[in-house]
């Protein structure tokens, strides 16, 4: 048993599960957005903002945003523990990734509810 | 043909180097890489490599031949030689003791972690613990592992975290005991494996399957461990 305190959850199984579930959410969101843009070739601002004013779309987008945040954290954490061996530098890299993810989430929410 | 061998003797050399040797195969026969090594050793007795059974059972002569890990004794030249050239290197990722001989401590430490023996807390029967043929069949494709380390040293996850990731060989053995009907420590074994490194560093790239000289499938065993962990979780 390897003790880990910076991973997303404490258990490998939990991280693995979150990674898979969020991947499905992101896939669904990507397919939806691509389909939406494909079926609305002459998309204008009006239509675009109407789409995101809809509560269900906001829920879906926020879900995708949070999924991306946790998916990215687990992925970047894995990469950092693979390739960055000095603890100090790895911690700084992870802190940077964490901060960036947090900024993206807050910024994303601001955009989403600012429509 | 041209053979390029990794040479390093820490007592003499400052750094490892590749030694190019031209050699004629007697009779132009398709000999095994181990036989070729013997020919090289006849020319230069300082060349170091491990070997024992010379028939793919002991797992001593695992090495990297033209970029692929395998057992020198059961790999014919025709399988690996390209353009009349063969590059021989020690198994990747492990510290080199000398020439083609690597220090396997990290590999064995991981093997030790999975408790590679039957754990059973029930009173032993008078003769032996019996298995049905079906129960016995569950460990086929698992017990045959000879611990040659070809798979683990072909795995990037093991290269980066040899102290934390059990590696394909150890995990194949872990599943061998999880799948054994005579073992009663399943829960304890699974609990030991449920961290972000031991099992879950496997990203299923299947290098282990590609190189296993015994044709075993560690990736499949790792998938089964993952399923067992999932099944016992809530």
| Angle separating helix axes B218-232 and A12-39, nearest 10 degrees | 100
pLDDT, one tens digit per residue, over A57-86 is 999 999 999 999 999 999 999 999 999 999
pLDDT, one tens digit per residue, over B176-205 is 999 999 999 999 999 999 999 999 999 999
Measure the CA–CA gap between B36 and B100, rounded to whole angstroms: 14
Measure the CA–CA gap between A70 and B117, rounded to whole angstroms: 38
Q: Do the chains contact at B160 and A82, CB–CB below 8 Å?
A: yes
| B50 has pLDDT over 90 | yes
Residue A110 contacts B where some CB pair is shorter than 8 Å: no
Chain B residues lying within 8 Å of A84, measured CB to CB = none
Q: What is the mean pLDDT of residues B67-71?
A: 97
Q: What is the mean pLDDT of chain B?
A: 96
> pLDDT value at position A10?
75
CATH 1.10.1060.10 assigned to domain B105-232? The reply is yes
Give the closest-approach CA distance of A43 to chain B in angstroms.
40
Domain segments of chain B: what residues?
2-102, 105-232
Measure the CA–CA gap between A59 and A98, rounded to whole angstroms: 23
pLDDT, one tens digit per residue, over A5-27 is 788 887 889 999 999 999 999 99
> pLDDT value at position A8?
83
| Cβ-count burial A30-67 (b if 16+ within 10 Å, e if not) | eeeeeeeeeeeeeeeeeeeeebeeeeebbebbeebbeb
Give the closest-approach CA distance of B183 to chain A in angstroms.
20
Kindly list the structural domains of chain A, giving each domain's residue range(s) and its CATH number in brackets, ordered by start: 12-114 (1.20.1300.10)
In chain B, which residues touch A (CB < 8 A)?
156-157, 160-161, 164, 191-201, 226, 229-230, 233
Give the closest-approach CA distance of A101 to chain B in angstroms.
21
Place of tokens 């999975």: B114
Architecture per CATH, B2-102: Roll (3.10)
> pLDDT value at position A5?
77
User: Percentage helix, strand, coil, to 5, in chain B?
Assistant: 35, 15, 50
């Amino acid at each position: 048993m390897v003790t880990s305190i910076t991973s997303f959850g404490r258990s490998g199984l939990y991280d693995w599960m979150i990674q898979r579930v969020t991947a499905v959410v992101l896939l669904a969101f990507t397919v939806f957005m691509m389909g939406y843009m494909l079926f609305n070739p002459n998309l204008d601002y009006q239509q675009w903002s109407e789409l995101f004013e809809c509560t269900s779309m906001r829920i879906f987008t926020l879900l995708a945003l949070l999924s991306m945040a946790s998916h990215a954290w687990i992925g970047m954490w894995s990469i950092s523990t693979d390739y960055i061996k000095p603890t100090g530098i790895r911690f700084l890299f992870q802190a940077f990734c964490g901060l960036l993810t947090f900024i993206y989430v807050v910024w994303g929410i601001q955009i989403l509810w600012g429509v | 043909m041209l053979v390029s061998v990794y040479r390093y003797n820490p007592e003499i050399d400052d750094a490892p180097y590749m030694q190019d040797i031209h050699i004629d195969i007697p009779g132009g026969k398709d000999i095994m890489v181990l036989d070729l090594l013997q020919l090289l050793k006849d020319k230069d007795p300082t060349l170091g490599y491990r070997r024992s059974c010379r028939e793919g059972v002991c797992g001593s002569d695992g090495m990297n031949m033209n970029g692929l890990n395998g057992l020198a004794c059961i790999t014919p030249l025709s399988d690996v030689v390209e353009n009349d050239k063969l590059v021989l290197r020690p198994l990747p990722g492990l510290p080199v003791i000398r020439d083609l001989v690597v220090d396997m401590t990290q590999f064995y430490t991981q093997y030790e972690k999975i408790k590679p023996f039957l754990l059973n807390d029930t009173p032993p029967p008078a003769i032996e613990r019996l298995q049905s043929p079906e129960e016995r069949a569950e460990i086929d494709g698992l017990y045959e592992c000879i611990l040659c380390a070809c798979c683990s040293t072909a795995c990037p996850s093991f290269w980066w975290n040899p102290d934390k990731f059990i590696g394909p060989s150890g995990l194949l053995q872990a599943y061998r005991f999880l799948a054994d009907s005579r073992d009663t420590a399943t829960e304890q074994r699974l609990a030991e494996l449920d961290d972000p490194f031991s099992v879950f560093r496997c990203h299923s790239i299947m290098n282990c399957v590609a190189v296993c000289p015994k044709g075993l499938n560690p990736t499949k065993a790792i998938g089964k461990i993952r399923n067992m962990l999932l099944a016992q979780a809530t």
